[in-house]
Amino acid sequence: MTETMLLVPMRTAKQGVALNAGKLKDAYIQETSTVEFKQEDMDRLGLKTGDRVRLRAGTQEVVVSCKPRKIKIQDTALGIIFMPYGPTTSKLMVDGDTAGTGMPDSKHLMVEIEGPLAQEESDGQ
Amino acid sequence: MDNNISGEPNIKVVKNATCTFCGCVCDDMELTVDLDQKRITKAKNACVLGKAWFFEHSVDESRPLARIDGKEVSLDDAIEEAAQILVNARFPIIYGMSNSTSEAQRETVKMADLLSANIDSTSSVCHGPTGMGLQGVGEPTTTLGEVKNRADMIVYWGCNPSDCHPRLSTHFTVMPKGMYIPNGRKDRTVINVDVRATATSQLSDLFIQTKPGSDFELLWALRILTRGGRLNSTIEEQTGVTIAVIEDLANRLRSCNYGILFFGMGLSMTRGRHYNTSALHMLATDLNEHTHFVVKPARGHGNVTGADTVLSWQTGYPFGINFNRGYPRHEPGEFTTTDILTRGEADAACIIASDPIANFAKPAIDHLKKIPVISFDPKPTPTSEMARVAFTTSCYGINTPGTVYRMDDIPIPLRPAFESPFPSDQEILIPLIKRIRELKSVSSAAA
């Protein structure tokens, strides 16, 4: 199933801890390659925790794991996904335009989501 | 001397040490240091991020001091290669500096001036738009000490300090008791405005969820109410927030004794950028007709505020500065690093304590991979691993003394925990600048 959603890159404490251990280590790579959905969006797309999904922006695409957001208070943000900043979100930031500010539109990336991917399709990435 | 021959653990305790991981720059750390192992074993008062910062920065003596194209070389050879690259470039750029001391930042500006280079800090992809906004409308500012002692209204807008600056709330803003806030948390109201619920929303009294990209409209609506106007019902569709909630928020902001608006990348990295941050500053100015209100960006890197400060006092501008005419010019969009790289203009880059390969936009990264890069970093990163010349440096605050600026522009001294065999950024920059000066004088004489 394919759907277009808004990807908002963000920071997490886990990412902050992992980058101190090292950006080339598994913990950092894993944390910055896991996308968070609202549970309702995961259910609608038929996704389970740990499933692999393809995110596509322009000519670029990445394959990442997915998990539900842990939300303890009311949150209405359907159709928005979140992923910690890192090499993966950078790859999806296909537009270097900064509107004359120096700052790309880093927190507003429209991506096409395809998934869940079959194991062999996911391994090919 | 750190060598231990007695067989007893060689332990040192450093009181009032400073954590340089994030912009809070907490200076009440008590570090227990194993001098034999060259590592910190306890970090009293540190948050989860601070603990990771201190515990993960032991010294790895197996790492080469310097490399050229991945091969280990002497420091002198690496400095010679870096100097040749920078002197022979037509459009060298210098970028980063936010994880370095202000003393090293000052040397970096000197190097940019000498090379007629472009210089920019990580601010340009952080709170650069905040700098642009406040240049236009002014900054009702404060210190974290004043917030601790006086603020009864804390607003976190487009930021999540619970994950990114864990001690901002517990040490400075929400939880502590202050001179005029005798009951601490009970005397304060905390409001979080964001596109998503976060851990910060959970500690807040009120969470207001906005549609992505509608911060400017919501801030302007609050300005209208603060100045006595009325809202059009279209604001609900634009922002996803009802007029009743906006009016309630405006009333709360007007009726506090001392309020502060902390804000983050939710404003500066989204549609509107500097217009968003301008609107926030103007809202605080408007609120000063009713009560006392201030603004403070929640800064990320430990000395990104120092980068803005040092660049401002040395060049007149906080980021995005070009020296190619022999004097500093500032133009966001033209002299900011993402733009220069995306346009493919730079032909050499010196990256000081930063990792643009891991967080720039793809077109900028693509160009950076085509040109010679010089990297200063205590740890291996995607940038250091692709650099033509890579220096391994000591870690500021843990090994290197100096000064950093807290997010409220307060300079804080560093108390290092143990010595590193690796040089500091400043200790590499000084001989590098000396060599650049020699090469420039030879080429001037030849001309």
Give B285-301 pLDDT, tens digit per residue. 999 999 999 999 999 99
Q: Do B125 and A103 touch (CB under 8 A)?
A: yes
pLDDT (tens digit per residue) in B115-173: 999 999 999 999 999 999 999 999 999 999 999 999 999 999 999 999 999 999 999 99
Share of chain B above pLDDT 70, in %: 98
- Residue burial B236-255, b: 16+ Cβ < 10 Å; e: rest: bebbbbebebbeebbebbbe
Surface of B (132-151) touching A: CB under 8 A:
132
Closest partner residue to B202 (CB to CB) among A16, A24, A73 is A73
Using pLDDT thresholds of 50, 70 and 90, give the confidence band for residue B88: very high
Which member of B166, B271, B332 has the closest CB to residue A13?
A: B166
Confidence of residue B446 (pLDDT cuts 50, 70, 90): confident
| pLDDT value at residue B412 | 98
B337 touches chain A (CB under 8 A): yes
Give the pLDDT score at B443: 77
User: Chain A partners of B342 at a C-beta cutoff of 8 Å?
Assistant: 96-97
Chain B interface includes A59 (CB < 8 A): no
At A101 the pLDDT is 94
Q: What percent of chain B has pLDDT over 90?
A: 95
Look up residue B424 and give its amino acid: S
Q: Where are the beta strands (DSSP E) in B372-422?
A: 373-377, 389-392, 403-405, 411-413
Looking at residue B7, its pLDDT comes to 65
Q: What is the pLDDT of residue A9?
A: 96
CB contacts of A90 in chain B (<8 Å) are 358-362, 365
Mean pLDDT across the stretch B46-52?
A: 98
- Residues A78-102, mean pLDDT to the nearest whole number: 95
Question: Which two structure tokens, joined as six digits, stand for B314?
Answer: 């040395």
B271 and A108: CB-CB below 8 Å?
yes
Q: B10-31 burial, b if ≥16 CB within 10 A, otherwise e?
A: beeebeebbbbbbbbbbbebeb
The pLDDT tens digits for B323-377 are: 999 999 999 999 999 999 999 999 999 999 999 999 999 999 999 999 999 999 9
Q: DSSP letter at A117?
A: P
Interface subset of A 13-32, CB within 8 angstroms of B: 13, 16-17, 20-24
CB contact under 8 A, B362 and A103: no
| Calpha distance B4→A107 (Å, rounded) | 51
**Helix-helix angle B75-88:B425-446, to 10 degrees:** 50
In the predicted structure, residue B283 carries a pLDDT above the cut 70: yes
Q: Out of A23, A97, A108, name the one closest to residue B381 (CB).
A: A23
B361 touches chain A (CB under 8 A): yes
Closest-approach residue (CA) in chain B for A70: B198
User: B442 falls in which pLDDT band (50, 70, 90)?
Assistant: confident
pLDDT at A123 (0 to 100)? 60
Q: In this predicted structure, what is the pLDDT of residue B2? A: 46
User: CA of A114, closest CA in chain B: separation in Å?
Assistant: 21
Residues of chain B contacting residue A17, judged by C-beta atoms under 8 Å apart: 48-49, 52
Chain B nearest CA to A62, separation (Å): 13
Of the candidates B357, B355, B372, B377, the residue with the CA atom closest to the CA atom of residue B425 = B377
CA B330 to chain centre: 19
* Inter-CA distances, B120 with A19, B194, B269, B319, B335, Å: 23, 29, 17, 5, 8
Of residues A22, A82, A85, nearest to B196 (C-beta): A82
CB distance A80–B212 less than 8 Å? yes
- Any B CB within 8 A of A78 CB: no
Q: Searching chain B, which residue's CA lies closest to the CA of residue A23?
A: B381
Q: What ipTM did this prediction achieve? A: 0.95
CB of A110 less than 8 A from some CB of B? no
Q: Which amino acid is at B351?
A: I
Q: Please give, rounded to a whole number of angstroms, the shortest distance from the CA of B5 to a CA of chain A.
A: 30
pLDDT tens, residue by residue, B4-44: 556 677 999 999 999 999 999 999 999 999 999 999 999 99
B64 at interface of A, judged by CB pairs closer than 8 A: no
Per-chain mean pLDDT for chain B:
96
- State how far residue B135 is from chain A, nearest Cα, in angstroms: 13
Q: Using a CB-CB distance cutoff of 8 angstroms, which residues of chain B are in contact with residue A108?
A: 212-213, 269-271
Chain B: closest CA distance from residue A11 (Å): 7
**Residue B60 and residue B340: Cα distance in Å, rounded?**
35
Measured between alpha carbons, how far is B175 from B159 in angstroms, rounded to an integer?
18
Average pLDDT, chain A: 92
Q: Which residue of A has its CA nearest to B52?
A: A17
Q: How far is B385 from chain A (nearest CA, A)?
A: 10
Q: Is-contact B68 B78, C-beta < 8 A?
A: yes
List pLDDT tens digits, range A4-20.
999 999 999 999 999 99
Q: What is the pLDDT of residue B1?
A: 41
Q: What is the pLDDT of residues A33-84, one digit of tens each?
A: 999 999 999 999 999 999 999 999 999 999 999 999 988 888 888 899 999 9
CB B204 within 8 A of CB B193: no
- The model's pLDDT over B374-412, given as tens digits with 9 standing for 90+, comes to 999 999 999 999 999 999 999 999 999 999 999 999 999
Verify whether the Cβ–Cβ distance A87 to B358 is below 8 Å: yes
